[in-house]
């Protein structure tokens, strides 16, 4: 095998050396329970406090508004279940999109079987939410709207600020949850200014540890917990906190680029994405599925006539690792997301996702393109 190139960073990322060091240090030297009252326990509690402050400073929110969880899936479930369990007397109408992560989509399916009315807002071929349709769906019975900021397969960026302001202008009592897992650390967000009530993040998408994440819960939002016990995390997430994971998450957030209205995305990633897009568009058999203006780290494309899984394994044998879509649903036939955007079944079944990190070079991308072309020519023979 000539070389190995990892292009599946939307599924998970390699932990930074500083993250690994922080995790090991906590395991070896700060292993006391942070709920213990003795001095050793207070050292562990300090790690929690420090990491929580790092995250709140990055997001521009209050320290008490961050709840540590096991990752994006739990954050999404806590946000949605927490609201529906706590405020169901206000109304049993929920709105989401057809291209949400499985941790949101499957939960909404479950809520539908429990008697909740679920409406799904239309999206275009690029996965963008139809704001006029969203406006028409909102009623006085609507309790919650849940829309992801960056789609995990297409890289589509939703206009979260506009959506939040639209919801607030119609019914300010509606809660707005945003799955920010693929957006956090990649593009500009401003939770201190946008009327967002709940925002999910995950550590292993930003070169942090697996098994750790967080949920932003706007002050004044009352959730019912999913897990009961010792009352940790402001009584919203009982159980001894994952101190090593939290230590690693804090270190990962320290390394994130800070964005603004002027600099809305990671410039290096955006450059690499543009370089790769230009190269892919020169391959006759390739059709790009991602929208032109999407997240800087995700490109989704199809090679109609060649199954995505077939190409994935062909590239794997050459040391290149990509995805057929979300790692949480990659074993299912075709892409639920591509189908929901109204694209053809041929594109859905041949869809591939490349997701970048800051260590990817032009040389890596050249090797990927060269290998992809060879594998297309080879597989077309069968």
What CATH number has the domain bearing residue 46? 3.40.640.10
With the CA atoms of 200, 204, 210 and 213 taken in that order, what torsion angle do they form, in degrees rounded to the nearest 10?
-20
Residue 227 sits in the same domain as residue 343: no
Boundary residue ending a domain (234, 254, 274): 254
| pLDDT of 380 | 82
Evaluate if residue 1 carries a pLDDT over 80: no
Angle between helices 17-29 and 243-254 (to 10 degrees): 150
How do residues 175-192 score in pLDDT, each as one tens digit?
A: 999 999 999 999 999 999
Active site residues: 328
Residue 260 inside a domain? The answer is no
Q: What mean pLDDT value characterizes the chain?
A: 95
Query: What angle, 0 to 180 degrees and rounded to 10, lies between the N-to-C axes of helices 102-113 and 72-87?
Result: 30
* Sheet of strand 287-288: strand arrangement: 287-288, 298-302, 351-355
- The predicted-structure confidence for 14-53, as pLDDT tens digits, reads as follows 999 999 999 999 999 999 999 999 998 999 999 999 999 9
Task: Please report whether residue 259 resides in a domain.
Answer: no
Tell me the CA distances in angstroms from 154 to 8, 58, 77, 203, 298, one per residue in order.
13, 26, 22, 21, 7
- DSSP for 362-379, written as a single string: HHHHHHHHHHHHHHHHHH
Confidence at residue 334, expressed as pLDDT on a 0 to 100 scale: 84
Cβ neighbors of 170 (< 8 A, separation 6 or more) are: 135, 138
Cross-strand pairs, 288:
301
In this structure, the answer to whether residues 66 and 184 fall within a common structural domain is: yes
Domain boundary among 193, 222, 254: 254
Whether residues 322 and 250 share a domain: the answer is: no
Q: How confident is the model at residue 381 (pLDDT cuts 50, 70, 90)?
A: confident
| pLDDT (mean) for 186-202 | 96
Does any domain span residue 261?
A: no
- 248 lies in the same domain as 304: no
- Whether residues 284 and 237 fall in one domain: no
CA angle 4-316-314, nearest 5°? 140
Residue where one domain finishes, among candidates 254, 276, 292: 254
| Alpha carbon distance 255, 263 (integer Å) | 17
Q: Are 204 and 294 within one domain?
A: no
Min mean pLDDT across 262-266, 273-277, 314-318 is at 262-266
Check which CATH number belongs to the domain holding 333 and give it.
3.90.1150.10
Residue carrying the six token digits 């429990």: 114
193 and 277 in a single domain? The answer is: no
- DSSP H stretches of helix in the chain: 17-29, 39-59, 72-87, 102-113, 131-137, 160-170, 243-254, 267-280, 308-316, 336-340, 345-349, 362-379
When pLDDT is averaged across residues 136-163 and rounded to a whole number, the result is: 98
Q: By residue range, what is the domain housing residue 219?
A: 17-254
**pTM of the prediction?**
0.96
Number of domains comprising the chain: 2
Same domain, 224 and 127: yes
Query: Are residues 86 and 219 both part of a single domain?
Result: yes
């Amino acid at each position: 095998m000539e070389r190995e190139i990892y292009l599946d960073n939307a599924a998970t990322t390699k932990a930074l050396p500083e993250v690994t060091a922080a995790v090991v240090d906590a395991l070896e030297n700060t292993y006391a329970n942070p709920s213990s009252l003795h001095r050793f326990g207070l050292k562990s509690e300090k790690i929690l406090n420090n990491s929580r402050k790092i995250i709140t400073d990055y997001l521009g929110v209050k320290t008490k508004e961050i709840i540590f969880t096991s990752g994006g899936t739990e954050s999404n479930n806590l946000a949605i279940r927490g609201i529906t369990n706590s405020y169901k007397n206000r109304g049993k109408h929920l709105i989401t999109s057809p291209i949400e992560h499985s941790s949101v989509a499957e939960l909404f399916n479950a809520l539908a079987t429990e008697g909740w009315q679920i409406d799904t807002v239309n999206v275009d071929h690029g996965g963008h939410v139809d704001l006029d349709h969203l406006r028409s769906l909102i009623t006085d019975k609507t309790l919650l709207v849940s829309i992801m900021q960056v789609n995990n397969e297409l890289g589509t960026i939703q206009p979260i600020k506009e959506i939040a302001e639209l919801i607030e202008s119609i019914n300010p009592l509606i809660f707005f949850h945003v799955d920010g897992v693929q957006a956090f650390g990649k593009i500009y967000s401003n939770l201190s200014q946008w009327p967002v009530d709940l925002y999910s993040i995950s550590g292993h998408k930003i070169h942090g540890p697996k098994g750790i994440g967080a949920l932003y819960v706007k002050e004044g939002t009352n959730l019912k917990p999913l897990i009961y016990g010792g009352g940790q995390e402001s009584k919203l997430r009982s159980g001894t906190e994952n101190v090593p994971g939290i230590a690693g998450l804090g270190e990962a957030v320290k390394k994130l680029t800070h964005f603004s209205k002027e600099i809305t995305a990671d410039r290096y990633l955006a450059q690499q994405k543009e370089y790769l897009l230009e190269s892919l568009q020169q391959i006759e058999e390739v059709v790009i599925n991602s929208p032109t203006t999407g997240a800087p780290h995700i490109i989704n494309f199809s090679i109609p006539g060649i199954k995505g899984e077939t190409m994935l394994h062909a590239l794997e044998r050459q040391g290149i690792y990509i995805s057929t879509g979300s790692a949480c649903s990659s074993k299912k036939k075709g892409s639920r997301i591509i189908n929901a955007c109204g694209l053809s079944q041929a594109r859905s079944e041949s869809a591939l996702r490349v997701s970048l990190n800051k260590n990817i070079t032009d040389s890596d991308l050249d090797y990927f393109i060269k290998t992809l072309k060879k594998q297309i020519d080879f597989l077309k023979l069968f």
